[in-house]
Amino acid sequence: MGSINPAEWAANVIKQDEIDRYLIDGDDFIDDNLIEQQLEEHRDPDPKWIREIIQKSLEIERLEPEETAALLNVEDEELLNEMKEAALEVKKKVYDNRVVTFAPLYCSNLCVNNCVYCGFRKDNTNETRKVLNMKKVKEEARNLVKMGHKRSIVVYGEHPASDADYIAESMEAIYDVKVETKHGYGSLRRVNINAAPMEIEDLKKLWDVGVGTYQVFQETYHHETYQKLHPSGPKSNYRWRLYALHRAMEAGIDDVAIGALFGLYDWKFEVMGLLYHAIDLERQFNGVGPHTISFPRLMEADGSPYTQNSKYKVEDEEFKKLITVLRLAVPYTGLIVTARETPEIRREAMQLGCTQTDASTRIGIGAYSEEYTEQEKKRQQFILGDTRDLDTVIKEFAEMGMITSFCTAGYRCGRTGDKIMNLLQEGVEGKFCKLNAVLTFREWLDDFASEETKKAGEKVIAQELEEIENDSFFTENNLLNEFKNYYERIKNGERDLYI
Cβ within 8 Å of residue 305, ≥6 positions away: none
499 residues of the chain, pLDDT tens digit each: 446 899 999 999 999 999 999 999 999 999 999 999 999 999 999 999 999 999 999 999 999 999 999 999 999 999 999 999 999 999 999 999 999 999 999 999 999 999 999 888 888 877 788 999 999 999 999 999 999 999 999 999 999 999 999 999 999 999 999 999 988 899 999 999 999 999 999 999 999 999 999 999 999 999 999 999 999 999 999 999 999 999 999 999 989 999 999 999 999 999 999 999 999 999 999 999 999 999 999 987 666 678 778 899 999 999 999 999 999 999 999 999 999 999 999 999 999 999 999 999 998 899 998 755 544 544 455 678 899 999 999 999 999 999 999 988 766 666 555 555 566 666 666 788 899 999 999 999 999 999 999 999 999 999 999 999 999 999 999 999 999 999 999 999 999 898 8
pLDDT at 388: 94
Which CATH code of 3.40.50.11900, 3.20.20.70, 1.25.40.20, 3.40.50.2300 fits the domain covering 6-27+88-409? 3.20.20.70
Which residue type is seen at 26?
A: G
Q: What is the pLDDT of residue 300?
A: 76
Q: What is the pLDDT of residue 400?
A: 96
- Where are the domains positioned within the chain? 6-27+88-409, 32-76, 414-491
pLDDT of residue 416: 59
Residue 180: Cβ within 10 Å count = 10
Q: What is the pLDDT of residue 191?
A: 97
Q: How much is the pLDDT for 126? A: 78
**What is each CA distance from 375 to 300, 362, 383, in whole angstroms?**
11, 9, 7
Cα-Cα-Cα-Cα torsion 446, 452, 455, 457, nearest 10 degrees, comes to: -70
375 near 430, Cβ under 8 Å?
Answer: no
Entry pTM: 0.94
CB 226 within 8 A of CB 184: no
Which one-letter amino acid corresponds to residue 361?
T
